Amino acid sequence: MNERDGRGRQERADAVDREMAARLLPGPVVRALGRWWEVNASAYADGTPGAHFVRYTPGRWAQITPWPKALAPTSAGGDAAVSRAEVASAVADALRREAFREALVATYVWGKGKRGSPSGSGPASLQKILAAESLDTALAHAVTTLSEHSAEAAYAGLQGLVPGFGPSFYTKFLYFAGKTVPSATGPQPLVLDRVLARRLRSLAQAVGRETGHDPDGSIANWVWRDRNWSPHRYAVYLSFMQAAASQAAAAGTWPPDASPDLLEYALFSASWT
């Protein structure tokens, strides 16, 4: 692709982004969120997804150190569960001690949940990440950048820095770190993974068709791909989610004081159709 083609593609992507920012969530999605809230209001009455928990098998992570005390001992048999609130507390404690690897382990295990296995992409991948000499510096710099600048800047600083440590997991680290060390400017960090990217891709495809900016969906497929999103794309995502949370609240079927991460969890966990 030559420079002119690349510039034209980015201009089309920017046009779709502007339309999405103006339109936000379509009516059917807002109504689906209202139905989700009716079912889940008692579980998340504080307007946050803090009670959202994942199940994991501690014994599968036996080779991982340092192991956070908030997680069940790796010697424990069977499965265990850990909530977002518990991970946030564990990360806050770890950051106070500058135990950045411990904070990462807590967020990584939560992110993998039951998908982790001794020989699979969970513990084995985490072990490789933890072996990186640059990891402590990278994580410490990300937290400092978040506190002094923005979530987008912290994201950019981690991009491609540690082999095997991609956005689906370092946005989890940033999300939980942001509970203790808020972003100095701009929206607070949120998790962005393949599921959420596909949700935004479906919206972008619809907007692109309706406006003619992206009739075949190729631009949406490019910017909302399954992995390796640009820092700009992460910033677009955070701004969209913040605005969409306000939109949903204004509809009267979503809690008015809900945090954007409740919307992130709802969009991740619920069907839109």
Q: How confident is the model at residue 125 (pLDDT cuts 50, 70, 90)?
A: very high
Each residue's pLDDT tens digit, 95-109: 999 999 999 999 999
Do 69 and 161 fall within a single domain? Answer: yes
pLDDT at 149 over 70: yes
Is 110:88 a contact under the CB 8 Å cutoff? no
Do 219 and 159 fall within a single domain? Answer: no
Do 176 and 203 fall within a single domain? Answer: no
- Give the separation between CA 119 and CA 103, rounded to whole angstroms: 23
Each residue's pLDDT tens digit, 11-48: 999 999 999 999 999 999 999 999 999 999 999 999 99
Q: Which of 189, 152, 149 is nearest to 173 (CA)?
A: 189
What pLDDT shows up at residue 114?
A: 85
Number of domains in the chain: 2
- The pTM assigned to this predicted structure is 0.95
Q: Which of 180, 207, 223 is the last residue of a domain?
A: 180
Q: Which two tokens stand for residue 73?
A: 């001992």
pLDDT at 80 over 80: yes
Coil, helix or strand at residue 81 = strand
Do 80 and 125 fall within a single domain? Answer: yes
Residues 140, 144, 146, 152: what is their CA dihedral angle, to the nearest 10 degrees? Answer: -70
Is residue 174 in a domain?
yes
Do 60 and 166 fall within a single domain? Answer: yes
Domain membership of residue 121 as a residue range:
53-180
Please enumerate in sequence order all residues whose Cβ is within 8 A of that of 250, keeping only pairs 6 or more positions apart, or say none: none
Percentage of residues of the chain with pLDDT beyond 70: 95
Do 27 and 119 fall within a single domain? Answer: no
pLDDT at 163 over 70: yes
Do 72 and 158 fall within a single domain? Answer: yes
Mean of the pLDDT values across residues 73-90?
Answer: 96
Which secondary-structure segment (H or E) carries 112?
helix 100-112
Q: Which of 133, 150, 180 is the last residue of a domain?
A: 180
Do 166 and 225 fall within a single domain? Answer: no
How far CA 100 is from CA of 56, 134, 216, 223, in Å, comes to: 21, 12, 44, 31
